[in-house]
Structure 1
Amino acid sequence: MYKRIVLAVDLGETSAAPKGLSEALELAKAWGGSLRLVNVQPVVPATFMEYVPADFDAEQTKRALEQLNELVAGVDLPADRKSVAARAGGIYHELLEEATEWGADLIVVGSHRPVMSDYLLGSNAKTIVRHAQCSVLVVR
């Protein structure tokens, strides 16, 4: 059923395994699918660019890829069925773009208990669900 699964990974999360990893892995195993771990790094606002090193974005992406590769190494799938991607920009926009480009048929995204700012601004999970062109599994 699901052959290409994208898992949104928040590298700032303190837990050992990303939220939704066990669910995404279970589905990938059950259907013989592939799993892609994706992290989106925020872009530094232009007003702060003079305060960060010139290679800040490249270093941030490099660190994200290193962390994703560590995570994916522990995933119990054959090497040809697991991959990683690091992008920079708005979380939901970049995640949806990666899912479309990779041809995903399921996006797995973690969610948290809403706080007041989520009610006023909206959450990334909600926006991903609303705009995705494939199925989305939201894991609390």
Structure 2
Amino acid sequence: MLTRILVPIDLAEPQMTKLAIDYAETLAKAFHSEIRLVNVQSLTPIKFLDYLPQDFDENIKRGLEGELASVAAHLSLPPTHVTTALLFGPIYQTIIEEAERWKSDLIVLCSHRPGMDRFLIGSNANAVTRHATCPVLIVR
């Protein structure tokens, strides 16, 4: 039975985000599951910090948390069944760590169609699928 569904989303890709969320929401309704929307951001490289305003990270964090909350607000699940997390770090490793920490039963994520760049450098969806300890549903 699915009780906890982790949904990593890319806020810069609203169409892909909607696809993954629609699948996760359908499953959550069927199984009365909780959904956790997660957005993972890379850390700002240290060499750029001298060129950014002091409050840059805080402003970015507030903006992203607002966007994440807006996406969560559009779900038709009870608010007690939806949580969000804005995380920072390497994308696929952070997703896997969050899935284990939150004790996810399933990870639902969307992936681009593979192109040559994906074959050369790999994709986060592929890495999550290979390393996750719970089932992964990839939506294309």
Q: Tell me the SS of whatever aligns to 1:36.
A: strand
Q: Percent of pairs identical after alignment?
A: 41
Matches within 5 A, 1:50-89: 50-89=50-89
1:99 maps to 2:129: no
Aligned to 1:45: 45
Q: Which runs of 5+ in 2 are unaligned?
A: none
Structure 1 segments of 4+ aligned residues over 4 angstroms from their partners: none
Equivalent residue number for residue 8 of structure 1:
8
**TM-score normalised by structure 1 residue count:** 0.94
Give 3-state SS (helix, strand or coil) of 2:18's partner.
coil
Give the direction of change, closer, same or farther, for the CA distance of 1:135–1:16 in structure 2 (3 Å limit): closer
* Counterpart AA for 1:20: A
TM-score by length of 2: 0.94
How far apart in 1 are the matches of 2:101 and 2:29? 22
1:120 corresponding residue in structure 2? 120
Letter in 1 for 2:54: A
Give the alignment of 1:13-52 within 5 angstroms: 13-15=13-15, 18-52=18-52
Contact in 1 for aligned 2:9/2:17 (Cα 8 Å): no
Separation of aligned partners in 2, 1:136 and 1:16: 16
Deviates further, 78-87 or 54-63: 54-63
Identify which range, 33-42 or 16-25, moves more after superposition: 16-25
Q: Given residue 130 of structure 2, which amino acid in structure 1 is its aligned partner?
A: R
Higher helix share: 2
* d(CA) in 1 for partners of 2:113, 2:17: 18
| RMSD over equivalenced CA pairs, Å | 1.4
Q: How many residues align?
A: 140
